Amino acid sequence: VCAVCLPERPRIWGLNDSKKLSEKKRERLFGEICALAAEYHIVIVEPAIIDQKNIYAATQDAMQQIVDAFVRKDGVLTDAMPLPACTLPCEPLIKGDMKSVSIAAASILAKVTRDRYMTELDERYPGYGFAKHKGYGTKAHYAAIRELGASPVHRPSFLRKMH
């Protein structure tokens, strides 16, 4: 989960929803965003927390952690998700990564961070293909779990979707 505070008129060319960018472009933009951002925060939510709370509540909690960590706090824009505990003005924008450069920038930092983490997990737990499928439920991912069993980083709630 990530949030970014950019200057009023950021000069970052090619900024877009992370899902619409190539990995190479996301990696390039990651450095530019970090260098230009007035402030940014990234929180990685552990699998056990996601299973304990559910992914929606765990994401909301991480987002609130980030809001609380920010020094600059005029208001909050989110990518569609409301933050009931937020005491600042908060506007959830549907398709926010297409409407706000800050949300688009945050989506890129979050995606690159997650992809890098998946590459680390691929080295730690070879055979699962984390670097390739990035933890998504592909046929190859499910096949690896059936062959090798679950790794310590697989969430039981994810594994239930296999059946």
Question: Would you say 108 and 18 are in contact if contact means Cβ atoms under 8 Å apart?
Answer: yes
Nearest to 144 by CA among 132, 127, 159, 163: 127
- AA identity, residue 72: R
Reply yes or no on whether the pLDDT at 85 is more than 80.
yes
Q: How far is CA 56 from CA 49, 61, 114, 162, in A?
A: 11, 9, 17, 20
Convert the pLDDT of each residue in 29-73 to its tens digit.
999 999 999 999 999 999 999 999 999 999 999 999 999 999 988
Spell out the residues 6+ positions from residue 29 whose beta carbon is closer than 8 angstroms to its own.
12, 14, 15, 21, 105, 108
Neighbours of 43 (CB within 10 A): 18
Mean pLDDT, the chain, whole residue set: 94
Convert the pLDDT of each residue in 106-155 to its tens digit.
999 999 999 999 999 999 999 999 999 998 889 999 999 999 999 999 99
Q: What percent of the chain has pLDDT over 70?
A: 99
Q: Which residue, chain included where needed, has tokens 């998700």?
A: 81
pTM for the model stands at: 0.93
Question: Is residue 17 very low, low, confident or very high in pLDDT (cuts 50, 70, 90)?
Answer: confident
Q: How far apart are CA 138 and CA 67, in angstroms?
A: 33
